Amino acid sequence: MSRARVAELSLIGVAAIWGITFPLVQDAVAQMPVTTFLGYRFLSAALVAAILFRTPLRNLSAAGWKAGAWMGLFLTGGYLLQTFGLERTSASNAGFITGMFVVLTPLLGAIFLGHRAGRTAWAAAAVATLGLYLLSGTGGSLQVLGDLLVFGCAISFSIHILVTDPAVKEHDVKGLLVVQLAFCGIVSFTWAAGQGDLVAPSGTSVWVALAITSLLASVLGFYVQAYAQTHASPARTALILASEPAFAGLFAWLLKGEVLDAWGWLGASLIMTAIVAVELVPYLRPVRPLPEG
């Protein structure tokens, strides 16, 4: 089997891992405060990454630490909004709406940084917005609030990509990975401590979610993506990774029995169409060095 084919199959596995995190995290935060779960998740991931990437971390300059902290700020915001949203909406909705960061990134880059965003990006944004309306419009007020929180997560992930793009050109991405994972873990743990929400993990669903999100989705996901992008073409890599929301919907159905109604399916289909349209135009897709699952 060729290296390109191995890379593509590995990417499919990563997209599936990122997709399955949505229902797993939703079950976990039903038993543990959101900030506590995120603190355990990212501190453990940072510890493993620090061991694996100890040399790049040791060689990271002060400017690199500052860049990693900025990246960590928006990564933290994204995961907090996503996980609080998962308490209020379905895992399938959260997966499809999170995927909108692909569509939002070129638009925010054009608005705030003067990047090129062509007609495809604006048309995709319009289609995705309609999809978001259809996906959220049939739920109650609690689901709408959850969907809005997850949409805020998509915006935060988009900004994270925009601040990451220049950072990885000047600093080692492995060192930056450790810093931002640690930032996310420390902020979440501090928040949990301030609210008196620190509790020890308990229950199979919590431990399974922590293991998959910290070790597989964060550390292994980064390794696999970095490997795959050296052997698979950018367009093919982007298209495969765009399947993450579809995997989220699949696992939400398999593990939790979630089923979208007709309007929900139409909305999800429009969002996926917009994501794929943007992913297929290579110059619209900035660097994506971190998994967003």
CB-CB contact of 267 with 134 (8 Å): yes
Token reading at 81: 């909004």
Q: Name 109's Cβ contacts closer than 8 Å, sequence gap at least 6.
A: 115, 117, 162, 286
d(CA 161, CA 165): 6
pLDDT of residue 291: 44
d(CA 144, CA 159): 23
In angstroms, how far apart are the furthest CA atoms of the chain? 53
176 or 237: whose pLDDT is higher? 176
Token reading at 127: 């289609």
Residue 108: count of CB within 10 angstroms of its CB: 17
- Cα torsion 99, 101, 103, 105 to 10°: value is -160
pLDDT of residue 279: 72
d(CA 25, CA 153): 15
d(CA 232, CA 110): 28
CB-CB contact of 229 with 8 (8 Å): no
pLDDT of residue 235: 55
| Mean pLDDT of the chain, nearest integer | 87
The H-assigned helical ranges of the chain are 3-28, 34-52, 54-58, 62-86, 91-98, 101-113, 119-137, 141-170, 173-194, 204-211, 221-228, 234-241, 244-256, 262-279
pLDDT of residue 226: 59
Q: What is the mean pLDDT of residues 199-206?
A: 92
pLDDT of residue 55: 96
Q: What angle do CA 157, 125, 101 make, to 5 degrees?
A: 15
Residues 22-62: pLDDT tens digits? Answer: 999 999 999 999 999 999 999 999 999 999 999 999 999 99
pLDDT of residue 234: 54
**pLDDT tier at 233, thresholds 50, 70, 90:** low
Where do the domains of the chain lie?
Answer: 3-284
Which residue is it, tokens 């292994």? 220
66 or 235: whose pLDDT is higher? 66
